[in-house]
Amino acid sequence: MSETAFASLAEDLFRQHYAVLPDFFSPAQIRAWHDDAAATSRQGLFRAAAVGRNADRLRDTSIRGDTIHWLEPDTLIPAQQAYLAFLESLRLRLNEQFMLGLFAAECHYAHYVAGSFYKKHLDRHQDSRDRVVSVICYLNDDWQAQDGGQLRLYLDDKTLDVQPLAGTLVCFFSERIPHEVLVVKRERLSLTGWLRVRPVH
């Protein structure tokens, strides 16, 4: 992450509570994550995502239809190590500049197939109080408006639709910005993570 890339991310995040940064990552970097996600999916390692945590965990495809694969900190796969290292540097730099007290990062690949979506929600709800900054990186080449699957951000006075196009990075304050994933018309892959104020477990 270059100085200028971090500077525009930080400026947008604090000025408007979100940042949308096209071409944040190089095509080669995105390809490595895309290919790893696709291979991991082919190995059957993705699981249906649950809504809520702990006792009230439930799988409800009328709320969200993606499948996910968590990146583990001790992973031996270089592509996954590289993304976790990026999140770690983002965590340290945001702490340094804004004293957010971010303690840890967590991240998963997410896979949506045609017809799936994620209804409007907040990432920081009663069951995930520790999430402060949401960070999403898209892995989809040549995404067109008619492919659907836009990330819709609900801002104070308008909505903003973001195409999940390869290389785009989105960050927002988890507690501030309700959002949804519109119905996707073709396969959609991303890396979705959070910077948190307490340990993951």
How far is CA 193 from each of CA 93, 145, 185, rounded to the nearest angstrom? 16, 24, 23
Which among ligand OGA, Mn ion, none contacts residue 195 (Cβ within 5 to 8 A by kind)?
none
- Strand segments (E) across the chain: 18-21, 47-48, 67-70, 104-112, 118-121, 131-138, 151-154, 159-162, 169-173, 179-181, 188-196
Within 92-111, which residues bind ligand OGA (CB under 6 A)? 110
Is the CB of residue 194 less than 8 Å from the CB of residue 135?
A: yes
**Residue nearest to ligand OGA according to CB distances in the complex:** 151
**Residue 180 Cβ, how far from Mn ion at the closest point, in Å?**
8
Torsion sign across C-alpha atoms 134, 140, 141, 146 = negative
- Of the pair 78, 115, the CB lying nearest ligand OGA is at 115
192 makes contact with ligand OGA (CB under 6 A): yes
The one among 51, 151, 184, 191 contacting ligand OGA by CB under 6 A: 151
- Of the pair 57, 78, the CB lying nearest ligand OGA is at 57
| The two structure tokens encoding residue 191 | 């890396």
179 makes contact with ligand OGA (CB under 6 A): yes
Q: Which residues bind ligand OGA (CB under 6 A)?
A: 110, 118, 123, 136, 151, 164, 179, 181, 190, 192
